[in-house]
A and B are shown apart, each in its own frame.
Chain A
Amino acid sequence: MGTVAVHGLRKSFGKVQALDGVTLDVPDGSFFVVLGPSGAGKTTTLRAIAGLEKLDAGSVHLDGKDATGDSPAARDLAMVFQSYALYPRRTAYENIASPLRARRCSSSEIAAAVERMSSLLHIERLLQRRPAQMSGGEMQRVALARALVRRPRAFLMDEPLTNLDLKLRVEMRTELTRIHRSLGGTFIYVTNDQVEALSMADQVAVLKEGKVQQVGTPAEVYERPANQWVAGFVGSPPISLLPCHAEGDRLVGADGWTLPRPRWTTAEDGRPLLLGLRAEDLSVEQRGEASLPGELYGLEPLGDRTVVDVRVGTEILKVKARPTVTGTPGERLHVTVDLDRAHLFDAGTGLALSEAGR
């Protein structure tokens, strides 16, 4: 068992409202990612779950029981800190053994558990070193081992991969997913990296300024962003947003372009909207009637693909194209739009329009 449910968490630091009513429901055994930019309140959320932060309001339920007032030790959780927080005077072995020592395991049990962890994370040769004698990646593995050495209710991980270089980060991403599969258990994983979130999560909660913006599977968050901000935060290159409004069976852009109105659009005529178009749903090859006239603004070759920046009126559209695409800036072209995959947001509230008819 390992369900974590938090309800209406509120916490302020002086004038900063770090958590503004955070509610999350983490199912048993899931890899649950909390995604948000720096300062969104991710660390504070984890610390609240762990019992390290005194809350202004809200409750924490572990396995269905109210644990709001419980001490961190009583909550039976493990955490990887953003800074790793390895004990500086102790060897990797002692660091990893610490949760077992605190719970009075026998030294043979401890030795077996530490050995299991060190082979799982490939840190056998680090065991006698102190944190100061390890690289960032090595400390990160030891911190993970210290968390994973026990079977707690849930594992809390605060941006464990952020401080690693890109290659190691990609490796560890796969590794962590593998570990989650092989060990089982509930993982609550915090990150500001949307690629990490999308590639690792069973469920993603998107957090911004202490408020949950959306909870869903990675596909849901990517394909049906709840609002303009989530659409912009998740996905790379970022989604292009064009101001427009509906007029009869057309969508009319602020810059004068028109497109057929998607069937499912529920907005009344004239209401200011934002049309959200992801790079992969656009094409610089002209086909069909749903297309926008623009001019080539720049090319961004990325090896496996090229992102073409196209200026439509005053806005820049990011269009994914084949790596072989060529062109000169200023060249006129048409961008074909896959309207079935387009997103529409209310320009005032930023909320996605109902897609019930889609």
Chain B
Amino acid sequence: MAISVDEAVSTGPARDHTPPARRFGGRGRAVLEVALLAVLAVVMLFPVLWMIETSIKENRDVYAIPAKFFGFKVTLDHFKDVFVASGGGRSALSAAFLNSVVVAGVSTALATVLGVPAAWAYSRFSVKAKKDQLFFILSTRFMPPVVVVIPIFLMYRQVGLIDNKLGLILIYTAFNVPFTIWMMKGFVDEVPAEYEDAAMLDGYTRLQAFWRFTLPLLLPGIAATAVFALIFSWNEFVFAIFLTSSDSVRTAPPAIAGLIGGTTVDWGLVAAASIVFALPVLVFAYLVRKHLVAGVTLGAVRR
């Protein structure tokens, strides 16, 4: 596992950067590199910075022309507005965040509970046409959501799952199970089957052997996989906007998008809501960053 993303991902072309180093000399190259990276960082991070600034400016300063980069008065009112309605009580946005937590959390939990045992089975047992089955499972992810959302909308209307959290949970689970199976199969393959064999000779059943001996070794992999699934469900927009409409069901992405489009747009609120929305994903990704790299590079590691 001691392999970096670079090593795992970059193929031939990446090495092409070396010859110019000799022409420029080490010093000049370093300066150029830093300059380029700085430009790139500014371009990439400016919107984020602007979003953060906007979220803590008073409305007056938000609309000021020319725009104020510094010297504005800092306020946390927008963040308060995200959670508290103008007349007191809970805001619609805070309900949307709660919906997102429920939908993303439950669908990720379901996908993990269904996908991990399936991955274990595909890794350990000889299954007829295993490769075809695995490819079929993956192929369900080939279709972009926009393509399938109309038929799903029609089907959901028949069974009353439109504007229903359960509907979103099911569709997100369906999208995350294939991903979980694929990613977890890699992690299960890494755990020698002999631990389970030994456990069965000790007197455990096959399922006990999996539960007591293999599963604990899979936990880092499960965490990484679950974070990916969580990020997908948390960020998902297309299904959410088509399949839900009421404030009590809606998840955060369509709710935040809904803030834009009226006659006046409260940019401070949009910025604050976006930051609150982005934070959990960043925190989770940070917590499991080591395993994320492991998960991403899994295919590249041969023992």
A residues lining the B interface (CB < 8 Å): 47, 50-52, 71-73, 77-79, 81, 83, 85-89, 98-99, 101-103, 146
Contacts and interface: CB of A to CB of B under 8 A. Distances in A.
B203 interface: yes
Contacts of A47: 197
Contacts of A102: 199, 202-204, 208
A79 B205 contact: no
A146 B216 CA distance: 21
Given A71-B205, A73-B205, A87 B195 contact: yes
Nearest to B200: A72
Given A88-B217, A89-B216, A50 B201 contact: yes
A81 B200 CA distance: 13
B16 interface: no
A305 B206 CA distance: 53
B200 A85 contact: no
A288 B287 CA distance: 85
Interface in B174-201: 192, 194-195, 197-201
Contacts of A88: 195, 217
Given A73-B200, A85-B197, A89-B217, 20 more contacts: A50-B197, A52-B200, A72-B197, A72-B201, A73-B201, A73-B202, A77-B201, A79-B197, A79-B198, A79-B201, A81-B194, A81-B197, A85-B192, A87-B195, A87-B213, A88-B217, A102-B203, A102-B208, A103-B203, A146-B198
Contacts of A72: 197, 200-201
A73 B198 contact: no
Contact of A87 (B198, B201, B206, B208): B198
8 contacts: A50-B197, A73-B201, A73-B202, A73-B204, A81-B197, A83-B192, A86-B198, A102-B204
A221 to B, nearest CB: 29
A146 B199 CA distance: 11
Contacts of A78: 201
B261 to A, nearest CB: 54
Nearest to A78: B201
Residue among B199, B200, B201 with max Cβ neighbours from chain A (10 Å)? B201
A162 to B, nearest CB: 15
A77 to B, nearest CB: 6
B198 A81 contact: yes
Given A88-B217, A89-B217, A83 B203 contact: no
Interface string B242-270: 00000000000000000000000000000
B112 to A, nearest CB: 21
A334 B199 CA distance: 60
B94 to A, nearest CB: 42
Interface of B: 192, 194-195, 197-206, 208, 213, 216-217
Given A88-B217, A89-B216, A83 B194 contact: yes
Top 10 A-B pairs, shortest CB-CB distance:
A102-B203, A85-B194, A72-B200, A99-B202, A85-B198, A102-B202, A73-B203, A98-B202, A103-B203, A79-B201
Contacts of A71: 200, 205-206
Contacts of B204: 73, 102
B131 to A, nearest CB: 14
A99 B203 contact: yes
Residue among A71, A73, A86 with max Cβ neighbours from chain B (10 Å)? A73
Contacts of B199: 87, 98, 102
Nearest to A97: B202
A101 B209 CA distance: 13
Contacts of B217: 88-89
A89 B212 CA distance: 11
B88 to A, nearest CB: 52
A47 B197 CA distance: 9
Nearest to A53: B197
Contacts of A89: 216-217
Nearest to A104: B203
A127 to B, nearest CB: 18
A73 to B, nearest CB: 5
A245 B9 CA distance: 66
A89 B213 CA distance: 9
Contacts of A103: 203
A231 B216 CA distance: 49
A225 B216 CA distance: 50
A16 to B, nearest CB: 14
Contacts of A77: 201
B187 to A, nearest CB: 15
A52 B195 CA distance: 12
Contacts of B201: 50, 52, 72-73, 77-79, 99
Contacts of B216: 89
Contacts of B198: 79, 81, 85-87, 98, 146
A81 B213 CA distance: 16
A266 to B, nearest CB: 48
Contacts of B203: 73, 99, 102-103
A77 B199 CA distance: 12
B44 to A, nearest CB: 41
B161 to A, nearest CB: 42
Nearest to B204: A102
Residue among B195, B206, B217 with max Cβ neighbours from chain A (10 Å)? B195
Contacts of B194: 81, 83, 85
Residue among B192, B194, B200, B203 with max Cβ neighbours from chain A (10 Å)? B203
Contacts of A79: 197-198, 201
B170 to A, nearest CB: 36
A220 to B, nearest CB: 31
B222 to A, nearest CB: 15
A150 to B, nearest CB: 9
Residue among B192, B202, B206 with max Cβ neighbours from chain A (10 Å)? B202
Nearest to A82: B194
A79 B205 CA distance: 16
